[in-house]
Chain A
Amino acid sequence: MTYNKRLDGRKLDETRPIEAKVGIIERADGSAIFKIGQTIAYAAVYGPRNLYPKFMQDPQKGILRVNYNMMPFSGHGERVRPGGSRRAKEISMVTEKALLPVIDLSDFPNAVVDVFIELPQTDAGTRCAGICAAAMALADAGIMMKDLVSAVAVGCIDGTVIADLNYDEEAFEGKVADIPVAILPNSGEISLLQMDGEVSQENIKDAIELAKKVTKNIYEIQKQALKDKFKVGE
Chain B
Amino acid sequence: MKMHSELRKHIIDFLNKGLRLDGRAPLEYRKPIKVEYDISKSAEGSARVQIGGTLLMAGIKLSLEKPYPDTPDAGNLMCGAELIPMANPEFELGAPGLQAIELGRIVDRGIRESHVIDTKKLCITPGEKVWGISIDLIPINDSGNLFDASALAALAALKNTRLPKLENEKIDYLTRTDEPLPLSDAEPVSVTVCKIGSHFIIDPTEEEEKVIDARLTVASMKDGTLCALQKGGEETLTSEDIDKMIGIAVEKANELRAAL
A–B direct touch, CB within 8 Å, in complex?
A: yes
- Which A residues contact B (CB, under 8 angstroms)? 24-28, 38, 40, 42, 44, 46, 49, 67, 69, 71-79, 82-84, 114, 116, 118, 120-123
Q: Please tell me if the beta carbons of A71 and B55 are within 8 angstroms of each other in the complex.
A: no
Interface residues of B in 68-119 (CB under 8 A from A): 80, 82, 84-89, 93, 95
Is B254 close to A, CB under 8 A?
no
- Which B residues contact A (CB, under 8 angstroms)? 39-44, 46, 53, 55, 57, 59-61, 63, 80, 82, 84-89, 93, 95, 134, 136, 138, 140-143, 173-174
Q: Closest B-chain residue to A46, C-beta based?
A: B89
Which of A67, A73, A83, A118 sits near B42, CB closer than 8 Å? A73
Q: A46-B89, A71-B57, A75-B42 are in contact. Are A26 and B63 (CB under 8 A)?
A: no
Q: Would you call the interface of chain B mostly helix, strand, loop, or mixed?
A: loop
B138 surroundings in chain A (CB, below 8 A)? 71-72, 118, 120
- Bound Cα distance from A61 to B73, whole angstroms: 60
- Bound Cα distance from A149 to B61, whole angstroms: 34
Q: A78-B173, A118-B86 are in contact. Are A73 and B40 (CB under 8 A)?
A: yes
- Bound Cα distance from A84 to B174, whole angstroms: 24
Number of A-B contacts (CB under 8 A): 96
Which of B53, B55, B85, B134 sits near A79, CB closer than 8 Å? B134
Q: Please tell me if the beta carbons of B41 and A38 are within 8 angstroms of each other in the complex.
A: yes
Q: A67-B85, A118-B84 are in contact. Are A73 and B136 (CB under 8 A)?
A: yes
- Bound Cα distance from A24 to B46, whole angstroms: 19
Q: List 13 A-B contacts (CB under 8 A).
A: A24-B140, A25-B87, A26-B141, A26-B143, A44-B87, A49-B89, A71-B59, A73-B46, A73-B136, A77-B173, A82-B80, A118-B138, A120-B59
A25 surroundings in chain B (CB, below 8 A)? 55, 86-87, 140-141
Q: Please tell me if the beta carbons of B42 and A42 are within 8 angstroms of each other in the complex.
A: no
A114 surroundings in chain B (CB, below 8 A)? 85
A78 surroundings in chain B (CB, below 8 A)? 61, 63, 173
Q: Please tell me if the beta carbons of A121 and B40 are within 8 angstroms of each other in the complex.
A: yes
B87 surroundings in chain A (CB, below 8 A)? 25, 27, 44
Q: Closest A-chain residue to B157, C-beta based?
A: A73
Q: A78-B173, A79-B61 are in contact. Are A42 and B40 (CB under 8 A)?
A: no
Q: Closest A-chain residue to B64, C-beta based?
A: A78
Q: Please tell me if the beta carbons of A72 and B85 are within 8 angstroms of each other in the complex.
A: no
Q: Closest A-chain residue to B85, C-beta based?
A: A116
Q: Please tell me if the beta carbons of A76 and B85 are within 8 angstroms of each other in the complex.
A: no
Which of B39, B61, B142 sits near A120, CB closer than 8 Å? B39
B89 surroundings in chain A (CB, below 8 A)? 27, 46, 49
Q: How far does the Cβ of B153 sit from chain A's closest Cβ, in whole Å?
A: 12
Q: How far does the Cβ of A120 sit from chain B's closest Cβ, in whole Å?
A: 5
- Bound Cα distance from A67 to B86, whole angstroms: 10
Q: A27-B141, A71-B40, A72-B136 are in contact. Are A79 and B86 (CB under 8 A)?
A: no
A120 surroundings in chain B (CB, below 8 A)? 39-40, 42, 46, 57, 59, 138
